[in-house]
Amino acid sequence: MAARGVDYLDDLNPAQRAAVEQLDGPVLMLAGAGTGKTKALTVRIVHLLKTGTARPDEILAVTFTNKAAREMKDRVGGMLGQPAEGMPWLGTFHAICVKLLRRHAELIGFDRDDVVIESADDRVHLKSNFTILDTDDQLRLLKQLVQAAGIDDKRWPARMLAGIIDDWKNRALTPDKVPAGDAGAFNHKGVELYAQYQRRLVELNAVDFGDLLLHMVCIFQASPDILEQYRRWFRYILVDEYQDTNVAQYLWLRLLAGGHRNICCVGDDDQSIYGWRGAEVGNILRFEKDFPGAKVVRLEQNYRSTPHILAAASNVIRGNENRLGKELWTEAQDGEKVRLIGHWDGEEEARWIGEEIEAMQGGTRRARPFGLDEMAVLVRASHQMRAFEDRFLTIGLPYRVIGGPRFYERMEIRDAMAYFRVVVSPEDDLAFERIVNTPKRGLGDKARQTIQATARAQGVPLLRGAAIAVENGLIKGKGGAALRDLVTGLARWGRMVGDAGVTHIELAEIILDESGYTAMWQNDKTPEAPGRLENLKELVKALEGFENLQGFLEHVSLIMENDAGDAGAKVSIMTLHAAKGLEFPAVFLPGWEDGLFPSQRSMDETGLKGLEEERRLAYVGITRAEEVCTISFAGNRRVYGQWQSAMPSRFIDELPEDHVEVLTPPGLYGSTGGSMGGSTPAPTVDSRAARADVYNSPGWKRMQARAARPGQSTGLSQPRESRTVVIDAEAVSSFARGERVFHQKFGYGEITGIEGDKVEVAFEKAGTKKVVARFLSASDD
Ligand code: ATP
Ligand code: MG
């Protein structure tokens, strides 16, 4: 083997190299974040190819996300240096299983198109045309079954059944294999409904996500010859993020690798964060039992993060009882401490992060400027993204949402928006083209060409061209009549845009109804139709936040523009789950509040399982950062339209103080942006009391105590001036007559009386008033 002197191997440390060079037999790399597992896996693919051990199509590499697959492909391509003849099978479990399942769909009773297609690897395959249901489709189908079974779907919602079925699928359980212990599921009807659901899916020629693996596992188990074929085919198997495989994925891998045992898995038990989706961290811990004689490689040198970041992550994860325990070290220089900052509310947190990103981009805050694509905001829950998207749009900060909801990209939403666009701007030709024959109006290519030719000849937009074509009888028959209806409809709705008697919400409904668009989906019998109707309703609901159709259209086009095109550097926004395996020079971790992170659900649970998974998520979050890691929390947050006050996350208490710098919240003393210590500006009027909740929370007080501790103060800025003490309602008894106080609205004054939680104050400027004690601060000047 031409191992020595091969430059792609020179980048590896001895342990990585050992894992790469052991090409045959089972290999496990079990190591902490940033130790180069993915890197080693990538080099291993190159090594397999360069040494001629395997052809590209004999290699199967499984990654956790499509993004990771793309990156790995690019890296392999780059390292090969020459265009490889074909690429390995590189993708997620689902992406790979879709491809395989299309070849064998008839085995599970699906239609098969007799289409012979040539695939990239030059093998000829038969393709099946089954559809993959999304979650909405799945839910609707289940709801029908639940109702048909005479079950009260209020008490027993379809969503619950969906969860149970997914769970069974993740455990590779077909209806006949569900264990007796689960018989009580879903009011004792779960198993029967599961069976009905699977039959219905076959009738619809459809699969859901969980089926992709389940069906493949069943096919492998039932057809040894097919399994044998794939074992000969995929001679080398590589798996990243093995700690997050579920039982079905695990079985699928074990079946495939069962013959040759050339399987290399890498993972980190501390980064198992998909237990809620059926991942079994036990899979990785059992590897040596499953594949006796496996070479196990442990990596301890971290190449990603500074020592402060690493220390913070290590200290947090140490709080978990159930872990193997690994020590990480790095040669990197100290760098900056992990930064911690509290905010009054989520909006302010978003504002501060937006400003901080701009400042870091400009290089004013740090030793070097950071590119936008070097920075990421990682949230615990996807609803947190909204505040950042809105804020970044407002200040014109380019961002991309990775793995975000794609509501505005759905077909029916784009159709409806196209209608709105033509109504608002009759010259919008692209939108007009989209709707002219949607719903079907009997306008074929010929009619459309006539419209275009007329418009071109007259130098007018398509809609006007269509009107002229209709007036002159250029388009005959049913199509012509339908087009006339559309043209007059658009003119009528256009007049309503400025009509004070019709709200833009009503107008939207009128357009969708009168154009026949809603009816089109009502008459549609495909399983997707009801969901599309629900989305249309949701779209109309979304209009409520805007004054008129134009405003809404602008908003959406901004979002779309931001989503579209990958050109230009952008800040990334994504969930912590989606960030697994990735790295960024600067990472923002907002929303570290109990109830949000860790999630309320994990806190309510008995036992530590959920909480430990949240803690692993915190570990994943911190270890994404290379140079700068900023953790923040807000004292108040609007959740589903309601204000809720929040406590700083318990994970904040687990951050090691030596490695953390507490930043002064902006606005508290009138500063804008995150000050990095230094002199504290004078207090401003309106911000102190407003933040009383945050600064009176036990978490904040603990932080302050740390910051103030002698000997610990180096590098830790004081979170607030010592002469100002913000107090809350409970502290009311600490007020005394004659005491000088400060009120957010009325300024300085002297206490003249106390009644319960109300205090009478003679203000210097505003006169004597009764105020609520919690809006007062003691002032000793
Ligand atoms: P995670 O657990 O987060 O997925 P990982 O173990 O897969 O992390 P990688 O992403 O492979 O780690 O590597 C982390 C960083 O360290 C990458 O930027 C990678 O290029 C770099 N790296 C890996 N190995 C080495 C090495 N031997 N020398 C220098 N840099 C390395
Ligand atoms: Mg990795």
37 lines ligand 1 (CB under 6 A): yes
Q: Is residue 38 a known part of a binding site?
A: yes
Which phi and psi (to 5°) does residue 763 adopt? -80, 150
Q: Is residue 591 a known part of a binding site?
A: no
For the CA of 31, the nearest atom of ligand 1: 6
Alpha-carbon dihedral angle through residues 42, 44, 48, 50, given to the nearest 10 degrees: 70
Residues of the chain with pLDDT under 70: 1-5, 82-85, 111-129, 134, 136, 365, 403-409, 527, 558-567, 638-642, 666-735, 744-745, 756-757, 772-781
For the CA of 241, the nearest atom of ligand 1: 4
Is-contact 682 669, C-beta < 8 A? yes
Under DSSP, the state recorded for 264 is E
Under DSSP, the state recorded for 56 is G
Is-contact 303 77, C-beta < 8 A? no
CA–CA separation, 400 and 732 (whole Å) = 48
38 lines ligand 1 (CB under 6 A): yes
CA–CA separation, 355 and 128 (whole Å) = 51
- 36 CA to middle of ligand 2, Å? 7
Burial 56-70 (b: 16+ CB within 10 A, else e): bbbbbbbbbbebbbe
Give the residue, by CA position, lying nearest to ligand 1 atom 15.
304
Give the residue, by CA position, lying nearest to ligand 1 atom 20.
39
Q: Is residue 34 a known part of a binding site?
A: yes
Q: Which residues is 340 bridged to in the sheet?
A: 631, 662
Choice from 16, 39, 265 to test ligand 1 binding pocket (greatest atom count within 8 A of CB): 39
ipTM beyond cut 0.95? yes
Q: Is residue 37 a known part of a binding site?
A: yes
- Residue 638 has what pLDDT? 64
Give the residue, by CA position, lying nearest to ligand 1 atom 24.
36
User: Looking at the CA of 624, which ligand is closest?
Assistant: 1
CA of residue 664 relative to chain centroid, distance: 29
- 24 CA to middle of ligand 1, Å? 23
Q: Which residues is 631 bridged to in the sheet?
A: 340, 589
For the CA of 35, the nearest atom of ligand 1: 6
% helix, strand, coil for the chain, step of 5:
50, 15, 35
Catalytically active residues, by annotation: 37-38, 240-241, 271, 624
Taking all residues of the chain, what is their mean pLDDT, rounded to a whole number?
A: 82
439 burial type by CB count under 10 A (0-12 exposed, 13-18 middle, 19+ buried): middle
The model's pLDDT over 377-395, given as tens digits with 9 standing for 90+, comes to 999 987 788 778 878 888 8
- Domain 407-560, what architecture? Orthogonal Bundle (1.10)
Give the residue, by CA position, lying nearest to ligand 1 atom 2.
33
The answer to whether the 7-97+213-297 and 308-398+573-708 domains have the same CATH topology is yes
For the CA of 271, the nearest atom of ligand 1: 2
36 lines ligand 1 (CB under 6 A): yes
Q: In 3-state terms, what secondary structure has residue 169? A: helix
CATH number for the segment(s) 7-97+213-297 = 3.40.50.300
For the CA of 39, the nearest atom of ligand 1: 11
For tokens 């900056």, name the residue.
336
User: Looking at the CA of 40, which ligand is closest?
Assistant: 1
User: Looking at the CA of 326, which ligand is closest?
Assistant: 1
- Phi-psi bin for 510: left (phi > 0), alpha (psi -120 to 50), beta? alpha
Please, how many CA atoms are within 13 Å of residue 629, restricted to the half-sphere of its CB? 26
For the CA of 302, the nearest atom of ligand 1: 16
CA of residue 740 relative to chain centroid, distance: 50
34 lines ligand 1 (CB under 6 A): yes
For tokens 């210097």, name the residue.
764
29 lines ligand 1 (CB under 6 A): no
User: Looking at the CA of 68, which ligand is closest?
Assistant: 2
Q: In 3-state terms, what secondary structure has residue 284? A: helix
Q: Which residues is 724 bridged to in the sheet?
A: 779
35 lines ligand 1 (CB under 6 A): yes
Domain ranges of the chain: 7-97+213-297, 131-204, 308-398+573-708, 407-560, 727-779
581 lines ligand 1 (CB under 6 A): yes
- 267 CA to middle of ligand 2, Å? 8
Is-contact 754 713, C-beta < 8 A? no
Q: Which residues is 770 bridged to in the sheet?
A: 760
Quote the pTM value. Answer: 0.70
408 lines ligand 1 (CB under 6 A): no
User: Looking at the CA of 79, which ligand is closest?
Assistant: 1
Question: What CATH topology corresponds to 131-204?
Answer: Arc Repressor Mutant, subunit A (1.10.10)
Give the residue, by CA position, lying nearest to ligand 1 atom 16.
303
CA–CA separation, 243 and 266 (whole Å) = 8
39 lines ligand 1 (CB under 6 A): yes
CA–CA separation, 381 and 741 (whole Å) = 40
Closest CA to 669 of 742, 740, 731: 742
- Residue 537 has what pLDDT? 82
Q: Considering only the top CATH level, what class is 308-398+573-708?
A: alpha beta
Please, how many CA atoms are within 13 Å of residue 579, restricted to the half-sphere of its CB? 31
Question: What CATH topology corresponds to 727-779?
Answer: SH3 type barrels. (2.30.30)
Q: Is residue 31 a known part of a binding site?
A: yes
Give the residue, by CA position, lying nearest to ligand 1 atom 4.
581
Q: Is residue 32 a known part of a binding site?
A: yes
Choice from 67, 269, 301, 304 to test ligand 1 binding pocket (greatest atom count within 8 A of CB): 304
621 lines ligand 1 (CB under 6 A): no
Closest CA to 668 of 593, 719, 592: 719
- 92 CA to middle of ligand 1, Å? 20
